[in-house]
Structure 1
Amino acid sequence: MVWAYRTAGIPDNLFERSEEVPITKEEIRALVISKLRLRENSWVIDVGCGSGSITVELCIQLPNGQVFGIDSDEAAIDLTKRNLLKFGMKANLFLGQAQEILPTLPQVDAVIIGGSSGDLTRLADLALSRLKTGGRIVFDTILIETLCLINGLIKKNSLYEIDITQVIVTKSKVISAGTMMVARNPVTIVSAAKP
């Protein structure tokens, strides 16, 4: 068994990786998942599933739930499939534009938006249309411009229980002189509930 635990934050090195497909780092995954406030039977959509690291972790957290992963990149979907297989998990994967796929999906308890392909306003509106009342939406971003756009979307849609957290993770790296700490890009995680 690759991962024998229920806790989030699977070490990055346990996932199949690809240079052209991004991975959400383990500490960010753990925080993103915590902001979803899931139950074991929750249904979740992962928009921009990339390497599938969040999709895999959601499947582990939701033994009686459903996970829907969407990505417009065929290499990302293939990598997500490989990671699901490696961890012995199953999810519903969709290759294509989230704006076209979201309307076909059922109502869910939570949505993660990790990638928008440039049309975040329409994407957020469609994601919110799939979200049950009281359900959680979580965005993660490294761009200030995206954060400003998300803030406007929150106000426009009267979302509540808003939480904005910026995380800067530093990881140890052994060098010849000892151990140094190397900083990663700051990531902003925004979560809110649908009224």
Structure 2
Amino acid sequence: MLWDYRTPGIPDELFERTEEVPITKEDIRAIALSKLRLREGHSAIDIGCGSGSITVELCLQTKGGSVYAIDFDQKAVELTKKNLRKFGANAEVILGKAQDVLPKLPQVDAVMVGGTWGDTRQVIELAASKLKKGGRIVIDTILVETMYQALAAVNELKLAEVDITQITISKARKVTTGTMMLARNPVMMISATRA
């Protein structure tokens, strides 16, 4: 097995990647997965699956459960499928807009929202409607406007245990005179529970 650990945070370089399809970086992924509070047998949805890095990790964390991945970009869907094969993971990968796909999916224990394509409120409302009682939702974004809309939606839905975290990560890079730290884009993350 390519990743034979129980911990999330598979190194980015182990995933197949392309310039056109985004990946949630390993450190952000590890934090997001910890906030989803997953168990074996749980079911989950990954909205805006991109490269499939979160989808793969959801599969590994919910061993024996059902995972659904959604993206409107054909390249993302193909890359997610490729990464699932590479890690020996199994998920249902669906090409389409979250607004069209979510109503057809079953209730789940966890939803990861990584992309809303400008329809933040509607996507979060639909995502929350798919959560079982006690289910967790995590929304991550780099845009302040998306965070504002996401927080408004979470408050309107009266979700419980709302947590807002801004994550700023720097990674080391060797240079001729030593090691320097390079900052990555800050990520804002909301996590909450369906009461």
TM-score (norm 1): 0.98
- Give the corresponding residue for 1:40: 40
- Secondary structure at 1:40 match in 2: coil
Query: Larger deviation: 56-65 or 13-22?
Result: 56-65
- Secondary structure at 1:8 match in 2: coil
Q: Find the aligned partners of 2:167 and 2:122 in 1 and give their Cα distance.
A: 26
* Map 1:7-156 → 2, pairs under 5 A: 7-156=7-156
Q: Find the aligned partners of 1:113 and 1:34 in 2 and give their Cα distance.
A: 14
Q: Does 1:184 pair with 2:178?
A: no
Q: Find the aligned partners of 1:189 and 1:155 in 2 and give their Cα distance.
A: 15
Question: Counterpart amino acid of 2:99?
Answer: Q
Question: Counterpart amino acid of 2:12?
Answer: D
- Give the corresponding residue for 2:164: 164
Equivalenced residues, count: 195
Cα RMSD of the aligned pairs, angstroms, is: 0.8
The offset of 1:3, in angstroms, is: 1.3
- Secondary structure at 1:164 match in 2: strand
- Give the corresponding residue for 2:2: 2
Deviations, residues 113-143 of structure 1 (Å, cap 9, x unaligned): 1000111111111111111122111100111
User: 2:46, 2:70 within 8 Å by CA — same for their partners in 1?
Assistant: yes
Q: Find the aligned partners of 2:56 and 2:22 in 1 and give their Cα distance.
A: 15
The offset of 1:38, in angstroms, is: 1.0
The offset of 1:170, in angstroms, is: 0.4
TM-score (norm 2): 0.98
